[in-house]
Amino acid sequence: MLVKIEEAIPGMKLAEDIFLPNGTTLINSSAILTENIISQLKKYGIEKIQVVQEIPSEEDQPEQEKKDEPDREQESLKEESSEQSEEPETLSDTDEEAKEYTLPKITVLIENEGLSAYLRIEPTGAQYEKITVDDIKDALMNENVLFGINEPLIEEAVKKWQQSKDIIEIENIAQGISPTPAKESDLELTVKHINNTKDLESVKAADYCWELLNSAIPIQQVDNVTVIAQKEIKTPSIPGQNIFGDPIDIDEVIITEVELGDNAEEDKESKIYTSTVTGLAYYIDGKLGVEPINFDGSVEISVSPDKMKAELIIHPAVENGTPPSEKSVKDLLSENNISFGVDETKLTDILKNMGKGVYPDGPVTIAEGVPPTPGENGKTEYFFNTETSLKPKVDTHGKVDFKNVSIIQSVNKGDKLAQLTPPTEGKPGKDIFGNENPFTEGTTATLPAGANTMPDPQNESILIASTDGNVRLNKNVVEIYEGFVIKGDVDYSTGNVEYDKSVSIKGDIKSGFIVKCGGDLGVGGTIGGSRLQIGGNLLCKYGFIGQGKGIIECKGDVNIGFMKNQTIRCRSNVNIAREALNCKIFARKTVTVSGKSISIAGGSVIARDSIVCNVLGNSSGINTSIEVGLDYTLIEEMEKTEKQLNEIAENRHKLLEALKRLEQTLATKKKLTPKEEFLYAKLKNTITKYNSQVITHEKRKKIIASKMHMTDKAFIKIEHSAMPGTLIKIGDHHHYVHQEIIGPKTVRLVNYEIRII
């Protein structure tokens, strides 16, 4: 029930907690009022409190309850009699509680001028000692400790006492709140400012503010009397509270110290700091100042090392600085003696834009000299085709034709082969300072006279043939060499052909015949099932057809109109004007097949670098295999090496068997004949030699294997389509075409996966 504090009497029990105005608990609920507690409540202005309602006295009980009281007493006596008869020797709980307990000695010491309290509990030596939370609270109340009581520590102390009746000491059983002194606010910067030494050093090293624009330095111009910092009115002190609940006042004020650096001054009354110069403010490690710097724009001239170009570099003004003037730009050109090649139109535009506040993004070339024109070197004009590539031309209709391609060019004695063009004179130049730059004269070309050529007796700048033969440009020299020309077919009338230089065959090469030449081979007709070995290039304007027995081995380029059922092994490029049907083509570089409706159908094509064609496969799904990224010459080398290894292993095995028989003879007879000793030593030396060869060949195999596949840059170009039945290989990766691929498409190996792009 609610009672006024004047009506409160000792012994009453609180029904709820009592709080101070700051929210701190003054007294917990269930506390029993004492004179001291009532006095403290009045001290803190507590007017009313909630207490537990008292039990009515016997006089106040209703009449019916008085009548029933004897009956209840009788029942209680019966129950006690029953319990005593059942357990005559056991001490009841009521008797246990009836024992008198002694309270241990409780000491409360006030410390730190009332900001904390110390608690000590020690046994008195009595037989029954007991302590409760309320006992400790009462001891604190008796010392007027009302504020900051640590109840969890009290409960912990009671638990410790129940476990062991030893001395218990607790620091800070109650703690007050220390007062907070008044404080000046930290210095408040009113402008952007530099806050580290490194940036300040950069500012000191600069002449103009624009030099700092690309850095992270904060830029804000301050002028004379500009307010750069201030202090606010000091914050008031915050009183504390001791453990008696009394407030603790404090008059102390914490002053914020500020060290004045260069070019800053303080108004001590208003706590305002101002600049005395134009510059950038800084506040570093408690030091406030201003570093002077020029905010105006400026111009620079950069002259190239060869004095042939001048660049104008314009730096804009920063903040309220003054931009560069027209006069400053023109004065700068004059000071640098730049008098030639000045672009007056560009200069006028720049000055006009500067007046509008628009500046170039970077250096502007404002003057350029005229470089000298060197004399042209003498040249050589050739009167024969020097083009070494035999790849056929594609006309405007996409048709590929070998008719205008010639592999062997014949000349007669006295024919004009080359002519020299004399060098030309140059012109002097002039730099931006007006100085003349001399020119260099062209050099005279040398007549490219080679074997069987000579200068024209009538004009030494002309080269002519001194004999009949075939002409070619060998590096930088014109040569005429003898060539073998067959005006008809290679057949039974000519027999096989073998010549160490170039051969020209006007007709066909019939099946079953062999042609070997050390140079180029030109065939005017078709090539049948023949075997060709060519040291240079091959040009066959028609076809290479047969029943699969024909093979061409060529060290240069192969250029053929079309082929069917035949094999080409080329160490360079293969160019086919139309189609390749059921053929085997091996090229160390590229394969290009230009047929429109059919390009490559059936057979297999292998090239190290690339395969380019219009159509792969055909509508009937013929099995067609193409592969890039593989050097077929290394496959041959690998096969050759493995064959040699097998031969060495076989021979070594035979020698080991013979050596084993001699060793058995030595073990039996203890001695070998001179002939056997010689054979024994020879066998061991030969086996050792074979072992060394095995190691060499195994190393060779590893080297070949590392170079065999070159898939990084290899590709297949499909211009029109790839039909089902086509197998595409790149290195160890395969892709089988199940559905038609519509071109143009490029096939590459990307991240170890075949991609059609």
pLDDT at 91 over 60: no
The answer to whether the Cα torsion of 14, 16, 17, 18 is positive or negative is negative
Which residues, including other chains, have CB under 8 Å from residue 597's CB and lie 6 or more apart? Answer: 615
SS3 734: strand
- pLDDT bucket at 731, cuts 50 / 70 / 90: confident
- What pLDDT shows up at residue 347? 85
- Say if residues 589 and 608 touch (Cβ distance below 8 Å): yes
Please tell me the distance from the alpha carbon of residue 129 to that of residue 103, in angstroms, as a whole number.
Answer: 5
- pLDDT bucket at 94, cuts 50 / 70 / 90: very low
pLDDT at 755 over 50: yes
- What pLDDT shows up at residue 555? 93
Q: What mean pLDDT is reported for the chain?
A: 85
Which residues, including other chains, have CB under 8 Å from residue 162's CB and lie 6 or more apart? Answer: none
Q: What is the pLDDT of residues 605-652, one digit of tens each?
A: 999 999 999 999 998 999 999 999 988 888 888 888 889 999 999 998
Please tell me the distance from the alpha carbon of residue 421 to that of residue 682, in angstroms, as a whole number.
Answer: 71
- What pLDDT shows up at residue 718? 95
- What pLDDT shows up at residue 64? 45
pLDDT at 37 over 90: no
**Strand (E) positions, 579-692?**
580-587, 590-593, 600-607, 610-616, 624-628
Query: How large is the average pLDDT for residues 227-253?
Result: 83
- Say if residues 250 and 240 touch (Cβ distance below 8 Å): yes
Q: Phi and psi of 13, rounded to 5°?
A: -115, 125
Domain boundaries in the chain? 2-50, 105-175, 182-292, 298-368, 379-477, 636-708
Q: What is the pLDDT of residues 215-238, one digit of tens each?
A: 899 999 999 999 999 887 667 788
Buried-state track 266-276, b at ≥16 Cβ within 10 A, e below 16: beeeebebbbb
Lowest mean pLDDT among 232-236, 297-301, 736-740, 747-751: 232-236
User: Is the full-model pTM beyond 0.85?
Assistant: no
pLDDT at 739 over 90: yes
Please tell me the distance from the alpha carbon of residue 757 to that of residue 750, in angstroms, as a whole number.
Answer: 10
Topology, domain 2-50: Molybdopterin biosynthesis moea protein, domain 2 (3.90.105)
Q: Can you name the residues that pair with 183 across neighbouring β-strands? A: 235, 254
Q: What is the pLDDT of residues 567-617, one digit of tens each?
A: 999 999 999 999 999 999 999 999 999 988 889 999 999 999 999 999 999
- What pLDDT shows up at residue 728? 95
- What pLDDT shows up at residue 392? 61
Lowest mean pLDDT among 194-198, 220-224, 467-471, 544-548: 467-471
Please tell me the distance from the alpha carbon of residue 263 to that of residue 273, in angstroms, as a whole number.
Answer: 10
Please tell me the distance from the alpha carbon of residue 24 to that of residue 145, in angstroms, as a whole number.
Answer: 13
Please tell me the distance from the alpha carbon of residue 445 to that of residue 478, in angstroms, as a whole number.
Answer: 14
Share of the chain above pLDDT 90, in %: 42
What does 557-608 look like in DSSP terms, one character per residue? -EEEEEEES-EEEESS-EEESS-EEEEEEEESSEEEE--SS-SEEEEEEEES
Q: What is the pLDDT of residues 52-72, one digit of tens each?
A: 875 444 444 444 444 444 444
Query: How large is the average pLDDT for residues 310-334?
Result: 86
- Say if residues 665 and 672 touch (Cβ distance below 8 Å): yes
Please tell me the distance from the alpha carbon of residue 183 to that of residue 70, in angstroms, as a whole number.
Answer: 75
SS3 680: helix
